[in-house]
Structure 1
Amino acid sequence: MAPRRQQTVVMYPSFGVGHIIPMTELARVLLRRGLDVTMVLIERPFWSSDSGAATTRRVMAANPAITFHVLPPDPSPPDFAGSTKLPFFHTLQLLRRYNGELGRFLRSFPRRRLHSVVTGMFSTYAAEVAAELGVPAYTFFASGAGFLAVVAQLPALLAGRQEGLKVLGDAPLEFLGVPPIPASHMVKELLEHPEEDVQRHGGRSEAHRRHRRRPAEHVRVAGEPRRAGAQGPPVRPGKAMPPMYCIGPVVGDGSAPREMPPERRHEHECLLAWLDAQQKRSVVYLCFGSRGTLPAEQLREIAIGLERSRHRFLWVVRTPAGTDGPKKFLEQRPEPDLAALLPAGFLERTGGRGLVVTSWAPQVAVLRHRSTGAFVTHCGWNSVLEAVAAGVPMLCWPLYSEQMLNKVLMTDLDMGVAWEMEGYAAGRVGADEVEAKVRLVMDLEEGRELGARVTARREEAVAALEDGGTSQVALARFLADAEKLRGQLGD
């Protein structure tokens, strides 16, 4: 007798490393529960980015248990040249155009084998395809539950606005379930565009409003434990939120995949060997995400501050970004010339206590290493969860997207895992601030108190993942509800 085919979850992440990696971690969770997983990727635009393409290839090679399917290239890709629209809007338009190809792929499965479709937070147009096929559709929300609470309440806030939120400056915006958020800390699309413009181009509030239209879209999966990442459950004034399953934190264990290229494996081993030689909790780790870049002048300020602090450091430096604009989202950048970017003699003077690497570091392994004592981060939610899971206190330096909003949540005492680096909002954090905050988090009593709060959040995350923990309970409820919904949609 032929073996019974397992049910398949089709995962359809949004563009970008920050969406693909956490969805891959969720896929591993589902694989351990006996489900097959097929991840559908789009060839553009992330293949056009050197770091994004390389990371995606590593993810594919490192996960042979996941079936990866790349949809054919869009025959009429958007023309970024001369466009004044933000890259985010182009991305949403491109994702919607892929619905036809996605539908053809999904129809290649016998319906009884399709367990569900899990979309990324900006791939929600795919729920239309799943609804046509009678397959449950879920959204994996890769950002924090606090940001989800804000997103859920945005339509009421923005209704009828003729201007973007930028005109409000730093005025606090009140949302249920989260601390007051300065208007200036909202995502760029809402700062610079009125709500009607955001909706016309497929903006964030519209993307999330779509979840309330069909039963198949009325659930979300979040990659974090309930308490470690949120002040409370997401809420919407006057209405109940759809179910949310807090599964996680879904982060890697930091081990080097067997399929890692030899040159990258050598870098990985050398970097960890350097960390092995350092004392416990003695190293400040600085990294600004897969797309985070800083101007050359800012890199020099960081270097001066690190040198003055006298602390050990591991710093990931990328080539500064060029001119702002949509093209910046896709452009490839060469390896940085450290001698030209950093102060004269900096590398020689700090060589005994600092390590500067270009473009990449095995972040989860670094954060989980015993020598790492603090993390200067851009506040991307993947990085936040990785640091919380490792028990490493953070210094916040948000750069783009929802990162400034994340900073508010991270520094609020209810979560209490970070301090902010003053000056980021104005585009310049001075050397004095770098020195002072590094010394504060590494040397002083306040830094030890911050570390204790992060340790408490880490213990909550560990408890969530244990048998009977909130993550395991949420996962079981998700699977049971999905099976029930499959039956309802199949009637």
Structure 2
Amino acid sequence: PMEKEKTVVLYPGLFVSHFVPMMQLAGALLDHGYAVSVALIDPGVKEDVAFGAVVRRVAASMPSVRFHTLRAMEDTPKLTHDARFMVRYLDLLSRYNERLHDFLCSMHARNVHAVVVDSVSNEALRVVKRLGIPGYTLFTSSAATFVAFAQLPTVLAEGGASFKELGDTPLELFGLPPMPASHLSGEVLEDPESDTYKATMALLCRIPEADGTLVNTFESLESRAVAALRDPRCIPGRALPPVYCIGPFVSSIADAEAKERHECLAWLDGQPDRSVVFLCFGSIGTGSHSEEQLREIAVGLDKSGHRFLWVVRAPASHDPGADTDLDALLPDGFMERTNARGLIVKLWAPQVEVLRHKATGAFVTHCGWNSVLEGVTAGVPMLCWPLYSEQKMNKVHMVGDMGIAAEMVGWQQGLVKAGEVEAKVRLVMESEEGRELRARAAAYKEAAATACDDGGTSRLAFAQFLADVASRQNRVCSEEAIHGSR
């Protein structure tokens, strides 16, 4: 008889940075002979044109993946990026639980071997478990961040001030270097009585409920954190589910729009090897700087004397629809003076291709985890300028354990001055310390490739994940065979 096809259902969140790695997981599953269905909350509920566009591009580029949009709710609130975003987002997810349940039932649950949900959507695992299907999460940040998130609920349960009150006091978490409490994600730095704080803590408390967690990292990049995840002392009295480090998923899926090569790559072709500093601060508008900050960056780049490729977004105060007049934003004469050695690109550049270009010598980044992995797999040393989310946590590890980055410290005062921009660019491009950062970055590039090769840690972890899914599935089927014949 024909074997029933083995299906894995993916349930991504509404963030480009979470969706794209989930689709690379889809690609890996297809390669291993699984059928993949993606259940999507209607992208229209988030006021973010970019997300819908990425979904359409990916769907077009992966014809063998089945996309299913869960029917929209009658009274779905629009999601806007503001202080209450997380509360609204988690509320929206819980409203869609029944829709997800109906979708899984319509697929005849027994053909579904596993469901993998975005880590922020982990409440949906309760629906999955109710149907007796193995349920996993995909964590799209670092293993170290996962270690911290898993421990935060118990850290405060043992009494003590709120994270907010701790200020810059170093947090001592198991398996991690000390980190200022102020570097945690914004949501847990809210008042403990606030909805945002409570909703976020509830999310973190559900981490152990998954049958396993896939993490977009590779072991040798974060050996200390990975060891902590396997240690029973990580969360005393609670076992963490198995963690599979299956990364790095680095993709130019999101960059696949342009049919012709982006103009900045042609410009890079004309520059000497490893001579260009690339500045880019993430895919969403929250990565835009104030006018004052843009001017400080410009003066610093000007004085450094180094070549640069700078992706500039208009400050949040500007009309997003209007075309930005960069001349008016940047210091007088800056564009003419740096015309020969600098290129400014508005809004967007193909980041993966830029980082892998031989002319690129350093990367000034907001430390979003996808960007960090893109820098690592390109072997480029980095300058950290964290802005939001868990980026400050990533910075700690990039500068510390990984040793692949230096920090622009001015972000802690809310303004990186021109003098620091100049000094740090020189440090990474000219100094002995910069050479050491570059050497370590090159070593991690090799290590990332090794992890993904036959017999590499990430390949083995993925095989282990599939084996565990199969054994859970067999257990479910044999129980049905025993109980189902009555």
Instruction: Determine the structure 2 residue equivalent to 1:25.
Output: 24
Instruction: Summarize the Cα distance change of 1:355–1:61 in structure 2 as closer, same or farther, 3 Å threshold.
Output: farther
What does residue range 263-412 of structure 1 map to in structure 2 within 5 Å?
264-266=258-260, 268-291=261-284, 292-322=287-317, 334-412=322-400
In structure 2, how many angstroms separate the alpha carbons of the residues matched to 1:309 and 1:53? 39
Query: CA, structure 1 residues 304+319, in 2 after alignment: closer, same or farther (shift >3 Å)?
Result: same
1:250 matched residue in structure 2: 249
CA drift of 1:42 comes to 1.8
Q: Which whole-Å CA distance do the structure 2 matches of 1:294 and 1:465 have between them?
A: 36
Q: 1:209-263 deviations in whole A, cap 9, x for unaligned?
A: 22334xxx23100111112145332232354422001101111268964xx3xxx
Alpha-carbon distance, 1:30 to partner = 1.3
Which of 203, 206, 209 is 2:205 aligned to?
209
Partner AA of 2:242 in structure 1: P
Q: For residue 480 of structure 1, report the CA deviation from its aligned partner.
A: 0.5
5+ long unaligned stretches in structure 2: 480-486
Taking structure 2 as the reference length, the TM-score comes to 0.91
Which residue type is aligned with residue 411 of structure 1? V
User: SS of the counterpart of 1:236?
Assistant: coil
In the aligned structure 2, how far is the partner of 1:40 from the partner of 1:336?
37
Q: 1:481 aligns with which of 440, 451, 468?
A: 468
In 2, Cα distance between the equivalents of 1:21 and 1:98?
21
Moved more, 126-135 or 390-399: 126-135
- Among all aligned residue pairs of Structure 1 and Structure 2, give the percentage whose two residues are the same amino acid: 48
Indicate which of 387, 408, 430 corresponds to 1:421.
408
Partner Cα separation in structure 2 for residue 123 and residue 333 of structure 1: 32
2:219 alignment counterpart: 226
Q: 5 Å matches for 1:143-162?
A: 143-159=141-157
Q: Relative CO higher for 1 or 2, CA cutoff 8 Å, sep ≥ 6?
A: 1
Q: What are the superposed Cα offsets for residues 373-419 of structure 1, whole Å, 9 maximum, x if unpaired?
A: 1110000001111111111111000000111111111111x211111
Report the CA distance between 1:53 and its aligned residue.
2.9
Deviations, residues 297-329 of structure 1 (Å, cap 9, x unaligned): 101111111111111111111121249xxxxxx
- Aligned-CA RMSD value: 2.4
* 1:22 alignment partner AA: P
Q: Residues 270-297 of structure 1, C-alpha deviation per residue, up to 9 Å, x if partnerless? A: 2211111111111111111112111111
* Alpha carbons of structure 1 residues 254 and 93: separation in structure 2 relative to 1, 3 Å: closer
Q: How does 1:6-25 map to 2 (within 5 A)?
A: 6-25=5-24
Question: C-alpha deviations, 1:122-145, integer Å up to 9, x for none?
Answer: 011211121122111100000100
Is the CA contact (8 Å cut-off) linking 1:417 and 1:454 kept in structure 2? yes
Q: Contact between 2:58 and 2:253, CA under 8 Å: does it hold in 1?
A: no
Task: Say whether the 8 Å CA contact 1:254–1:365 is kept in structure 2.
Answer: no
Contact 1:7/1:112 (<8 A) preserved: no
SS of the residue corresponding to residue 481 of structure 1 reads helix
Write the mapping of 1:33-48 to structure 2, written as runs, cut at 5 A.
Answer: 33-44=32-43, 47-48=46-47
C-alpha offsets along residues 334-383 of structure 1, whole Å, 9 cap, x if unaligned?
55331222122222221211111111111111111111111100000011
Q: 1:108 aligns with which of 86, 106, 109?
A: 106
- TM-score, length of structure 1 as denominator length: 0.90
Structure 1 gaps, min length 5: 324-330
Change (3 A) 1:161 1:188: farther
In structure 2, the CA distance between the partners of 1:254 and 1:313, relative to structure 1 (3 Å rule), is farther
SS, match of residue 363 in structure 2: strand
